[in-house]
């Protein structure tokens, strides 16, 4: 008997649906390609956002980290949809909640522009032809040419047919040092897959004042989210903290200063952690604590290195922000990096 190339996977819960999933295809990939939303963040098996319960059937998957699927959860059939592929017809259960519902697509993009914007940081504009549907804050995965490795990069623009990406060089990095900063040029083609992720502008937040904390290129999705929020409500109160080490690493300053000139509710606060200057020095979380006595009724978007995001979340909670109002994205290294850092 020939082995089937795909199995039926049914999801129970808030968004019942059935999709065909290839035997080498992760469940998450199959659902998102069919336009069925499952919660998801980094797509690397390390954040646990796409954890689902296997009700019937079998899957194959790499052994999950105990920090993601605990020893108590494993006998209960919990698996990671971004890692597990079906080995039979399967039923999973989850409470999907709400999130961006765009069809996941493979795309070939062309580099329209690539330029240095700060020390070790470049802006990459990729033309993807027809309109690419995504929600502000989401990211794409880019395949490193000649390898199976993919790396995640957030869109800094609102949906359209070109993607604006901000990329920081990681010394010795396979994608950045070895390819993007070394040889990627205007006119080159890039293999992309997206959109991914749940770190998105929440339209249903009732116009609450926003605080944004971005570390390094963690500013990218915040730019897209701010533009989206201001398009809906031009007088929206948005305070943006951008943390970098030195003045040479600051970028997009003119853009943010322009936004403060055009929108009375926008405040832009660049913070340098390793240089004294006539602006704010120190970490973005500390600046937030200094500036706000209370953040009750605010919503927050935090993005960047894991330590910055964790410290920022703590600061938001110390100022009494509700946990559900805090949205975050951590730029964790890929699991196939030489030595991926703990989250």
Residue 32 CA to residue 105 CA, distance in Å, equals 9
Residue 324 CA to residue 200 CA, distance in Å, equals 13
CB of 149 to ligand FAD, least distance (A): 7
Residue keyed to tokens 């997206």: 194
Per CB under 6 A, the list member of 139, 251, 283, 301 interacting with ligand FAD is 139
- Residue 152, interface with ligand FAD (CB under 6 A)? yes
Per CB under 6 A, the list member of 51, 168, 223, 263 interacting with ligand FAD is 168
CB of 334 to ligand FAD, least distance (A): 4
Task: Tell me the three state secondary structure of residue 1.
Answer: coil
- Residue 217, interface with ligand FAD (CB under 6 A)? yes
- What are 23's two structure tokens? 């035997």
Task: Tell me the three state secondary structure of residue 262.
Answer: helix
Q: Residue 51: which residues within 8 A CB-CB, separation 6 or more? A: 68, 69, 73, 78, 79, 80, 81, 94
Per CB under 6 A, the list member of 119, 170, 289, 343 interacting with ligand FAD is 170
Q: Which is nearer to ligand FAD, 173 or 195 (CB)?
A: 173
Instruction: List the interface residues with ligand FAD, window 236-295 (CB under 6 A).
Output: none
CB of 3 to ligand FAD, least distance (A): 34
Q: Which is nearer to ligand FAD, 90 or 176 (CB)?
A: 176
Q: Which is nearer to ligand FAD, 83 or 176 (CB)?
A: 176
CA 84 vs. chain centroid, Å, equals 21
Determine contact, residues 199/221, Cβ cutoff 8 Å.
yes
Per CB under 6 A, the list member of 7, 31, 37, 42 interacting with ligand FAD is 42
Q: Which is nearer to ligand FAD, 86 or 100 (CB)?
A: 100
Per CB under 6 A, the list member of 21, 38, 82, 220 interacting with ligand FAD is 220
Instruction: List the interface residues with ligand FAD, window 300-339 (CB under 6 A).
Output: 305, 329, 331-334, 337-339
CB of 225 to ligand FAD, least distance (A): 13
Q: Give the range of 91-99, 147-155, 249-257, 318-326 binding ligand FAD by CB under 6 A.
A: 147-155
Residue 153 CA to residue 160 CA, distance in Å, equals 16
Determine contact, residues 114/125, Cβ cutoff 8 Å.
yes
Q: Nearest to residue 217, comparing CAs of 164, 268, 158, 172?
A: 164
Per CB under 6 A, the list member of 154, 283, 301, 319 interacting with ligand FAD is 154
CB of 233 to ligand FAD, least distance (A): 25
- What are 287's two structure tokens? 């600046």
Tallying the residues shown for the chain, one arrives at 343
Neighbours of 334 (CB within 10 A): 20
**CA separation (Å) from 13 to 76, 87, 102?**
17, 22, 19
Core vs surface per residue 53-91: b (16+ CB within 10 A) or e: ebeebebebeebeeebbeeebeeebbbbbbbbbbeebbe
Q: Which is nearer to ligand FAD, 9 or 309 (CB)?
A: 309
Count of residues interacting with ligand FAD (CB under 6 A): 31
- Binding residues for ligand FAD, per CB under 6 A? 42, 139, 151-154, 165-168, 170, 172-177, 197, 217, 220, 305, 329, 331-334, 337-341
């Amino acid at each position: 008997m020939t082995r089937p190339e795909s199995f039926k996977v049914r999801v129970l819960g808030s968004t019942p649906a059935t999709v065909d999933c290839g035997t080498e295809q992760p469940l998450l990939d199959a659902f998102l390609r069919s336009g069925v939303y499952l919660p998801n963040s980094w797509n690397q098996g390390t954040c646990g956002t796409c954890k689902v319960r296997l009700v019937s059937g079998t899957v194959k998957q790499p052994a999950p980290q105990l920090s993601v699927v605990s020893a108590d959860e494993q006998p209960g059939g919990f698996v990671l949809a971004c890692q597990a592929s079906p080995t039979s017809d399967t039923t999973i259960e989850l409470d999907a909640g709400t999130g961006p519902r765009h069809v996941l697509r493979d795309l070939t993009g062309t580099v329209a522009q690539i330029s240095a914007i700060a020390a070790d940081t470049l802006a990459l504009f990729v033309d993807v032809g027809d309109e690419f549907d995504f929600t502000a804050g989401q990211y794409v995965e880019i395949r490193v040419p000649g390898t199976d490795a993919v790396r995640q990069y957030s869109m800094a623009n609102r949906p359209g047919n070109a993607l604006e990406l901000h990329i920081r060089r990681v010394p010795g990095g396979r994608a950045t040092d070895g390819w993007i900063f070394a040889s990627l040029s205007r006119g080159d083609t890039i293999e992309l897959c997206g959109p991914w992720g749940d770190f998105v502008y929440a339209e249903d937040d009732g116009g609450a004042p926003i605080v944004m904390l971005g570390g390094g290129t963690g500013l990218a999705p915040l730019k897209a989210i701010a533009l989206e929020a201001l398009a809906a409500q031009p007088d929206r109160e948005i305070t943006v903290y951008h943390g970098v080490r030195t003045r040479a690493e600051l970028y997009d300053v003119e853009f943010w200063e322009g936004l403060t000139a055009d929108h009375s509710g926008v405040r832009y606060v660049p913070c340098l952690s390793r240089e004294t200057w006539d602006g704010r020095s120190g970490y973005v979380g500390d600046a937030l604590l200094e500036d706000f006595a209370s953040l009750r009724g605010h919503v927050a978007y935090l993005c960047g290195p894991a330590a910055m995001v964790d410290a920022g979340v703590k600061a938001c909670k110390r100022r009494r922000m509700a946990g559900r109002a805090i949205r975050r994205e951590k730029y964790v290294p890929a699991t196939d990096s030489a030595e991926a850092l703990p989250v």
